[in-house]
C-alpha cells in the first residue's frame, strides 16, 4: 500500500490529476521511484548529519531530552551565564533549545576565526517572523536574513555611513553636543534626558535634516516605542509564530496577533513615509541641507527600494543609533564618577589641546589620544549590546574538529571577550591606558579586535554599519562633557557622598546599561556657558 499512498501524495503535491491516462504510467513510475530514492537518501542524509552534529558538536552543558538546555538559559543577562559556561566548556561551546542549535563564541580569536574570516557563510540571521516579517514588513535591516535584501540595505547604508561619509555630519554632531552641555549647565538634574536627546537628535538630524530635538520630544518617544515593540516580540519565547512558522499563514480573521501586527506595521509605515515626504518637500523647496533620507530618495531606484522600504530604512537607521549611543555615554559618566583621576587626566589633555576659550571640535581628535582611549575603554567596559546580534550559518562547516551545521545560530559573547582575563587581567577596572603605548600618544589594541580592543560593534560582514557615526558621536559628546564639567557623585543632605553602583545593569531589550543614577555636574570655569552658547550659535 505504501507506493500508492506515496503516489497519491506526490501527484497531489505536483498538481497532477488522479485519473491519469494509462499511457502516462511508465513516466509516473519513473517519477515515483526517483521520489522514493530521494526520500530515502534525504532520510539517510538527515540521520548522518544529526549523528555528525551530536558527535562533533562543541561541548556544552548537559541537555534534557526534548527541551535541551531551554530551562538553563536565563531570559535576561544571558551573556553572564554564557560567560560562566565558557569558563567550564571553553571559548566555543554549544547549546540546544527546541528547534535551534546554538554555538557561543567567547574569545576574540574564535570570533575572528569563525565570524570574520568565514563571514561569507556566517552573515545570516535567524528568522524573526513576528518582529521582522509581520511588524516591520521585512524592512528591519538588522534582522533581515534574506541575503539579497540585506546586501541592498548594507550597500546603501555604507554610502551614507562609511568612515568618510560620516564626516559630513560633524557640524550636526558638534551643535548637538554643545546644546546638550548647555542644557546640562542650565538643567543639570536632567542630564540623562539631555544626553538621550543628544544621541537621538544627532541621528535624527543626520537622517532627516531636522533641527535639534528637545529632550522628551514625541519623535524620540516614537522611535523608542517602535524599538521596544519590535525587540519585545523578538525575544525567544515571546511569539508563538516564531516557534511554529506555519502560523504565519493563518488568515487574519483567525489570528488577532497577526491582524494587530499588520495594522501596527501600516500605521508605522505611514509615519515614516510622512518623515520622508517632509524631506522631499524641503528638497523641492531648494533646501540644501545634507541628510541621509534625501540621498536615499535619489538612489532608491538604484538600490531597488520601494517608497515604503526606503521610509523604513531611514527610520531603522535612527532606531539603531539612538539608544545604543546614549547607553555608552551613560556608562562613561558612571566610570568618571568611579575613576576621577582618569577624568582629571583627560581634562589636562583637553586644556592643552583645546584651551578654555572654545569648545572641542572634530579637528582636535587627532591630538587627543587619551580621549580616544576613553571611548574604546567605555565600549570595552560596558558594551551596550553584550551579546551583539545572532548570526546564522548558511552552510555546513568545521572549526578545529567541531561540526557547525547549516542553520546553527552563532552568538558572539562580546561581554566575555571584552573581559577575557588572559588579555585584560584587570578587566573590571576602567583603564584607558591599556589602549595606549608607553608614549601615551599612539593607540594599541590586542590582536583579532580590528584594532579597536573590543568586539562591541559585532562581527564579520554584519559589523555595526553605524560604527563610524557612533564613534564620532561619542568623541564629541565625551570631549565636550569633560571640557565643560567635573562629573561628581551626588551627596545627601548632610554632604555624604552617595556612590552609584558600578556593577548593576538593566536590560531594556535593545541595550544593557547602568540603572538610572544621580550625578553632579560642576562647570569647570566661569565661561563654560558663554562658550557653549557661542558654539551652538556658530554651528
Ligand atoms: C555605541 C553605539 C553602537 C553600538 C554599540 C552598536 C552595536 C551594534 C551591534 C553589536 C550590531 C550587530 C553586529 C553583528 O551582528 O555582529 C549592530 C548592527 C547594526 N547597527 Fe549598530 N551600534 C551602535 C550605533 C549604531 C548607529 C549610530 C547606527 C546608525 C547610524 C547603527 C546601525 C546599525 C545597523 C543598521 C545594524 C545592522 C547591520 C546589519 O545587520 O548588517 N548602530 N550595531
State the complex-level ipTM.
Answer: 0.99
Interatomic CA distance for residues 371 and 115, integer angstroms: 30
Q: Answer yes or no: is the C-beta of 463 below 6 A from any ligand 1 atom.
A: yes
Per-residue pLDDT of the chain (539 residues; tens, 9 = 90+): 333 333 333 233 333 333 334 444 455 556 566 666 665 666 666 666 677 777 899 999 999 999 999 999 998 899 999 999 999 999 999 999 988 999 999 999 999 999 999 999 999 999 999 999 999 999 999 999 999 999 999 999 999 999 999 999 999 999 999 999 999 999 999 999 999 999 999 999 999 999 999 999 999 998 889 999 999 898 777 899 998 999 999 999 999 999 999 999 999 999 999 999 999 999 999 887 779 999 999 999 999 999 999 999 999 999 999 999 999 999 999 999 999 999 999 999 999 999 999 999 999 999 999 999 999 999 999 999 999 999 999 999 999 999 999 999 999 999 999 999 999 999 999 999 999 999 999 999 999 999 999 999 999 999 999 999 999 999 999 999 999 999 999 999 999 999 999 999 999 878 999 999 999 999 999 999 999 999 998 76
Under a CB-based contact definition with an 8 Å cutoff, are residues 164 and 501 in contact?
no
Q: Answer yes or no: is the C-beta of 31 below 6 A from any ligand 1 atom.
A: no
Q: What dihedral do alpha carbons 458, 463, 465, 466 form, nearest 10°?
A: 20
Interatomic CA distance for residues 322 and 324, integer angstroms: 6
CA distances from residue 279 to 267, 271, 295 in whole angstroms, order as listed? 19, 13, 10
The alpha carbon of 142 and the centre of ligand 1 are apart by a number of angstroms equal to 8
Q: Answer yes or no: is the C-beta of 459 below 6 A from any ligand 1 atom.
A: yes
Interatomic CA distance for residues 87 and 374, integer angstroms: 28
DSSP 77: -
**Ligand 1 atom 30: the closest Cα is on which residue?**
466
Rounded (5°) CA angle 508-513-519: 125
Q: Answer yes or no: is the C-beta of 465 below 6 A from any ligand 1 atom.
A: yes
**Ligand 1 atom 16: the closest Cα is on which residue?**
458
DSSP 67: T
Q: Answer yes or no: is the C-beta of 466 below 6 A from any ligand 1 atom.
A: yes
The alpha carbon of 384 and the centre of ligand 1 are apart by a number of angstroms equal to 10
Determine whether 375 is exposed, middle or buried from the number of CB atoms within 10 Å of its CB (0-12, 13-18, 19+). buried
The alpha carbon of 166 and the centre of ligand 1 are apart by a number of angstroms equal to 15
Q: Answer yes or no: is the C-beta of 475 below 6 A from any ligand 1 atom.
A: no
Q: Answer yes or no: is the C-beta of 476 below 6 A from any ligand 1 atom.
A: no
Interatomic CA distance for residues 110 and 106, integer angstroms: 7
**Ligand 1 atom 3: the closest Cα is on which residue?**
324
The alpha carbon of 187 and the centre of ligand 1 are apart by a number of angstroms equal to 31
| Ligand 1 atom nearest to 471, measured from its CA | 1
Q: Where are the beta strands (DSSP E) in 50-150?
A: 92-97, 100-105
pLDDT tens per residue across span 291-338:
999 999 999 999 999 999 999 999 999 999 999 999 999 999 999 999
CA distances from residue 48 to 42, 45, 52, 93, 425 in whole angstroms, order as listed? 10, 5, 6, 21, 43
Q: Answer yes or no: is the C-beta of 128 below 6 A from any ligand 1 atom.
A: no
| Ligand 1 atom nearest to 143, measured from its CA | 40
Q: Answer yes or no: is the C-beta of 456 below 6 A from any ligand 1 atom.
A: yes
**Total-model pTM:** 0.91
**Ligand 1 atom 43: the closest Cα is on which residue?**
464
| 3-class DSSP assignment, residue 148 | helix
DSSP 64: B
Cross-strand partners of 104: 93, 411
Q: Answer yes or no: is the C-beta of 317 below 6 A from any ligand 1 atom.
A: yes
The alpha carbon of 134 and the centre of ligand 1 are apart by a number of angstroms equal to 22
The alpha carbon of 319 and the centre of ligand 1 are apart by a number of angstroms equal to 10
Instruction: Label each residue of 380-447 as H, E or C.
Output: HHCCCCCCCCCEECCCCEEECCEEECCCCEEEECHHHHHCCCCCCCCCCCCCHHHHECCCCCCECCCC
Interatomic CA distance for residues 514 and 500, integer angstroms: 9
Amino acid at each position: 500500500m505504501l507506493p500508492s499512498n506515496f503516489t497519491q501524495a506526490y501527484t497531489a503535491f505536483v498538481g497532477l490529476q488522479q485519473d491519469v491516462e494509462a499511457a502516462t504510467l511508465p513516466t509516473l513510475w519513473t517519477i515515483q521511484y526517483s521520489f522514493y530514492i530521494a526520500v530515502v537518501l534525504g532520510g539517510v542524509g538527515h540521520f548522518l548529519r544529526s549523528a555528525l552534529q551530536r558527535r562533533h558538536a562543541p561541548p556544552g552543558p548537559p541537555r534534557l531530552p526534548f527541551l535541551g538546555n531551554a530551562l538553563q538559559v536565563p531570559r535576561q543577562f544571558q551573556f553572564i551565564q554564557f560567560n560562566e559556561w565558557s569558563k567550564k566548556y571553553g571559548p566555543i561551546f554549544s547549546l540546544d533549545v527546541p528547534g535551534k542549535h546554538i554555538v557561543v563564541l567567547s574569545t576574540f580569536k574564535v570570533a575572528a576565526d569563525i565570524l570574520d574570516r568565514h563571514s561569507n557563510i556566517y552573515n545570516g540571521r535567524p528568522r524573526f517572523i513576528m518582529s521582522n516579517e509581520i511588524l516591520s514588513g521585512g524592512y528591519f535591516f538588522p534582522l533581515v536574513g534574506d541575503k539579497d535584501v540585506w546586501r541592498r540595505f548594507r550597500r546603501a547604508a555604507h554610502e551614507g555611513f562609511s568612515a568618510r561619509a560620516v564626516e559630513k555630519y560633524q557640524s550636526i554632531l558638534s551643535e548637538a553636543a554643545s546644546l546638550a552641555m548647555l542644557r546640562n549647565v542650565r538643567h543639570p538634574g536632567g542630564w540623562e534626558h539631555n544626553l538621550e536627546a543628544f544621541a537621538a537628535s544627532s541621528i535624527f538630524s543626520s537622517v532627516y535634516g531636522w533641527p535639534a530635538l528637545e529632550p522628551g520630544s514625541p519623535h524620540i518617544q516614537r522611535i523608542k516605542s517602535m524599538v521596544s515593540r519590535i525587540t519585545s516580540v523578538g525575544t525567544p519565547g515571546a511569539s508563538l509564530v516564531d516557534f511554529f512558522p506555519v502560523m504565519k499563514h493563518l488568515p487574519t480573521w483567525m489570528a488577532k496577533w497577526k491582524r494587530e501586527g499588520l495594522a501596527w506595521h501600516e500605521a508605522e509605515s505611514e509615519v515614516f513615509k510622512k518623515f520622508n515626504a517632509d524631506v522631499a518637500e524641503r528638497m523641492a523647496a531648494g533646501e540644501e541641507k545634507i541628510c541621509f533620507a534625501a540621498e536615499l530618495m535619489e538612489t532608491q531606484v538604484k538600490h531597488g527600494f520601494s517608497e515604503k522600504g526606503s521610509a523604513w530604512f531611514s527610520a531603522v537607521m535612527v532606531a539603531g543609533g539612538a539608544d545604543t549611543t546614549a547607553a555608552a555615554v551613560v556608562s562613561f559618566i558612571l566610570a568618571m564618577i568611579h575613576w576621577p583621576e582618569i577624568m582629571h587626566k583627560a581634562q589636562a589633555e583637553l586644556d592643552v589641546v583645546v584651551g578654555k576659550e572654545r569648545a572641542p571640535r572634530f579637528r582636535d581628535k587627532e591630538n587627543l589620544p587619551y580621549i580616544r582611549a576613553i571611548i574604546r575603554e567605555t565600549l570595552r567596559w560596558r558594551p551596550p549590546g553584550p551579546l551583539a546580534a545572532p548570526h546564522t550559518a548558511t552552510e555546513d562547516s568545521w572549526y578545529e574538529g567541531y561540526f557547525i551545521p547549516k542553520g546553527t545560530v552563532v552568538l558572539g559573547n562580546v561581554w566575555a571577550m571584552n573581559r577575557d582575563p588572559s588579555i585584560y587581567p584587570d578587566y573590571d577596572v576602567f583603564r584607558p591606558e591599556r589602549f595606549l603605548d608607553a608614549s601615551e600618544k599612539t593607540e594599541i589594541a590586542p590582536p583579532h579586535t580590528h584594532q579597536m580592543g573590543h568586539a562591541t560593534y559585532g562581527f564579520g560582514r554584519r559589523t555595526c554599519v553605524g560604527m563610524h557615526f557612533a564613534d564620532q558621536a561619542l568623541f564629541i559628546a565625551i570631549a565636550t562633557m569633560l571640557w565643560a564639567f567635573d562629573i561628581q557623585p551626588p551627596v545627601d543632605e548632610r554632604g555624604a557622598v552617595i556612590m552609584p553602583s558600578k556593577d548593576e545593569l538593566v536590560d531594556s531589550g535593545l541595550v544593557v546599561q547602568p540603572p538610572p543614577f544621580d550625578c553632579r555636574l560642576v562647570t569647570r570655569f566661569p565661561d563654560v556657558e558663554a562658550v557653549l552658547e557661542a558654539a551652538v550659535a556658530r554651528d
